[in-house]
Amino acid sequence: MTENFHGHMLDVLIPPKIIILLILHVLPVPLETRFPADAPQGSLWPLPQKVQTSEASFKLSGSTFAIVDAKRSSAGPSCALLQDAYTSAFTPQLFVSTDELTVDQPHAVLKAPKVWGALHGLETFSQLLYEDEYGAKIINATSISDFPRFAHRGILLDTSRHFLPISTILANLEVMAMNKINVFHWHIVDDTSFPYQSRTFPQLSQKGAYHPYTHVYTPTDVKMVIEFARLRGIRVIPEFDTPGHTQSWGKGQLDLLTPCFSSTKPSGTFGPVNPILNTTYQFMTQFFKEVSTVFPDAYVHLGGDEVDFTCWKSNPDVQNFMDQQGFGQDYKKLESFYIQRLLDIVTTTQKGYMIWQEVFDNGVKLKPDTVVHVWMGGKYNEEMSNVTAAGYTTILSSPWYLDYISYGQDWQKYYKVEPLNFKGTDEQKKLVIGGEACLWGEYVDGTNLTPRLWPRASAVAERLWSAMNVTDLSDAFQRLSAHRCRMVERGIPAEPLFSSYCPSEYKHL
Ligand SMILES: *[C@@H]1O[C@H](CO)[C@@H](O)[C@H](O)[C@H]1NC(C)=O
Ligand SMILES: *[C@@H]1O[C@H](CO)[C@@H](O)[C@H](O)[C@H]1NC(C)=O
Ligand SMILES: *[C@@H]1O[C@H](CO)[C@@H](O)[C@H](O)[C@H]1NC(C)=O
Ligand SMILES: *[C@@H]1O[C@H](CO)[C@@H](O)[C@H](O)[C@H]1NC(C)=O
């Protein structure tokens, strides 16, 4: 797979060079059993960079169908990840994901330089399959060469506004793989609840979760999510957002948050993390040391968005500190003071960091490999231009807030976005490593997450994977309708695009 993952992120997990030869035994299909052409059979989503299909089709024979490692493959039986993918790929719960895929008689061949490419290739292969009217599995002769346009193709799920059961998270990782999404941005804690169970500070979830036993992610849960994701070629980037969005942290960690004042007395409420105490930084050092060992990805998301200065302004100790530091009344300077120290702390854990755009906007000094996450609406093209002009890599989310819902086919709006549509040099455009669809959790829990996310996030997935000129809405509608039915067939309650039917409708358990 020619995925660059912005350097390295997954490289730690895999051997360097792999060639997989996937051998499938296929038989030619007599003309009369071919599927009528009205439904787009074998439709691919996201569309590969190069596809050549033909009318020649083959029937997969159950008795001889096999996936075999080629003799010259460097993967072989010792690559457990692929062996797992082979077996799960063609059981009824199809999930499988190219570099080069050639389907012909008597073998289909899949070649990929990395294991992640092989996974994507398996997914593509599974999408080429369709059934004739007798239920036989058919595949047309096809030649594909593929690679993603952007290395970072993410989905943000929020497990703080509502707790999401592990089963919901795992099910959606499965769907992410079907859509070749490779980053799960886990917005794990926020104001409302702190479900992350910390080994170092167990009181954080004990006091800060909605429920200390039923509404938490234990270390075992977190491990399971990370491994489940890895097996599907998905990175897990946790977000521990500070100094704002931290009300739930304050319940388990005394003195972490700033006491707000009403005239001359503490009002009993609390604001953002208290940036003037040394204990704050001692806590963050220990906390992020743990986070860096629990989450193997090379990056952690540090938030830094939407800091409300009202409480800081009300607190006389904070005012004194501002005077001492010479910040005047510029509370952005205080915010930057905090973030700067936090970034230094996280740097000592050998992790790279992602941050929301405000941190950049406020002029905090960032490491060159920082990923600036652009989320604000309105002038996001100008922001992309500014961030890349300053030499930082960036990902885009502004136009992809999927928590906003409306009547109609809003997938088209997401699909039409062009992330490089900003003023800038070629060098600047290269700094855009991808984007993320965000599904914030105020109105979302296990009951409605999956249909709300899919296939709307699929539109973002194709924008981030396929070539820039893949913009034809009616072609996309056809393929996405078929892809949505494929998700439904695989047991995923993906919502409809418009009036339609699926050959095999969703069966509720
Ligand atoms: C696959 O082959 C069938 C039967 O020959 C043909 O009708 C169909 O258009 C082909 N599909 C594609 C995507 O080329
Ligand atoms: C906080 O740390 C700084 C620098 O290490 C030190 O000068 C200061 O005295 C400390 N403050 C308190 C209250 O311990
Ligand atoms: C981009 O930078 C310019 C020049 O510093 C500034 O005027 C503008 O407000 C910035 N745009 C955004 C969206 O922050
Ligand atoms: C996109 O551009 C490529 C290369 O120029 C071309 O081969 C391909 O046909 C174009 N695809 C579409 C959908 O326009």
* Distance separating alpha carbons of residues 364 and 353, to the nearest angstrom: 13
Of how many residues is the chain composed? 509
- 79's CB contacts (< 8 A; 6+ apart) are 15, 18, 69, 115
Contact 125, 27 (CB under 8 A): no
| Residue having the nearest C-alpha atom to atom 2 of ligand 3 | 386
Ligand 2 centroid–CA 278 distance in Å is 6
The residue whose CB lies within 8 Å of the most ligand 4 atoms, and thus the one to mutate among 415, 462, 463, 469, is: 469
Q: What pLDDT, on a 0 to 100 scale, did the predictor assign at position 188?
A: 98
Q: What pLDDT, on a 0 to 100 scale, did the predictor assign at position 130?
A: 87
Ligand 3 centroid–CA 381 distance in Å is 10
80 assigned to some structural domain: yes
Pairing of strands 432-439, 130-131: unpaired
Q: What pLDDT, on a 0 to 100 scale, did the predictor assign at position 88?
A: 64
CA-nearest of 180, 179, 178, 19 to 100 is 19
Ligand 4 centroid–CA 144 distance in Å is 14
Q: Phi-psi region for residue 408, left (φ > 0), alpha (ψ -120 to 50) or beta?
A: left
Rounded alpha-carbon distances, angstroms, from residue 507 to 91, 259, 286:
18, 52, 47
pTM over 0.85: yes
Q: What is the CB < 6 Å shell around ligand 3?
A: 361, 379, 382-383, 386
The ligand 3 atom nearest the CA atom of 383: 13
499 assigned to some structural domain: no
- The CATH number of whichever domain residue 186 belongs to comes to 3.20.20.80
12 assigned to some structural domain: no
**Structural domain count, the chain:** 2
Those residues of the chain that have pLDDT short of 50 are 1-18, 30-39, 91-98
496 assigned to some structural domain: no
In terms of domains, do 129 and 158 share one?
Answer: no
Q: Is 470 in the pocket of ligand 4 (CB under 6 A)?
A: yes
In terms of domains, do 51 and 158 share one?
Answer: no
The ligand 4 atom nearest the CA atom of 475: 13
Ligand 1 centroid–CA 502 distance in Å is 19
| Residue having the nearest C-alpha atom to atom 4 of ligand 3 | 386
In terms of domains, do 134 and 184 share one?
Answer: no
**3 state DSSP class of 448:** coil
Q: What pLDDT, on a 0 to 100 scale, did the predictor assign at position 74?
A: 80
* Distance separating alpha carbons of residues 220 and 199, to the nearest angstrom: 11
Query: Does residue 306 carry a catalytic annotation?
Result: yes
Task: Give residue 372's domain range.
Answer: 152-490
| Residue having the nearest C-alpha atom to atom 8 of ligand 4 | 469
In terms of domains, do 293 and 428 share one?
Answer: yes
In terms of domains, do 119 and 258 share one?
Answer: no
30 C-beta neighbours (distance < 10 Å), count: 9
User: What share of residues in the chain are helix, strand, coil (percent, to 5)?
Assistant: 35, 20, 45
Ligand 3 centroid–CA 451 distance in Å is 37
412 assigned to some structural domain: yes
The encoded tokens of residue 125 equal: 């292969």
In terms of domains, do 221 and 93 share one?
Answer: no
User: What beta strand segments (E) does 345-417 contain?
Assistant: 352-356, 371-374, 393-396
Q: What is the pLDDT of residues 451-462, one digit of tens each?
A: 999 999 999 999
CA-nearest of 444, 427, 437 to 398 is 437
In terms of domains, do 173 and 255 share one?
Answer: yes
Q: Which of 227, 306, 382, 427 is catalytic?
A: 306
276 alpha carbon, closest ligand: 2
Q: What pLDDT, on a 0 to 100 scale, did the predictor assign at position 253?
A: 98
In terms of domains, do 37 and 58 share one?
Answer: yes
Beta bridge partners of 354: 301, 371
Give residue 506's identity as a one-letter amino acid code: Y
Ligand 1 centroid–CA 57 distance in Å is 7
505 assigned to some structural domain: no
| Residue having the nearest C-alpha atom to atom 1 of ligand 3 | 386
Contact 105, 26 (CB under 8 A): yes
* Distance separating alpha carbons of residues 264 and 317, to the nearest angstrom: 11
29 alpha carbon, closest ligand: 1
Q: What is the CB < 6 Å shell around ligand 1?
A: 34, 37, 42, 53, 55, 57, 140
In terms of domains, do 165 and 205 share one?
Answer: yes
User: What beta strand segments (E) does 188-292 contain?
Assistant: 235-239, 257-262, 265-273
Q: What pLDDT, on a 0 to 100 scale, did the predictor assign at position 38?
A: 42
What DSSP character marks residue 61?
P
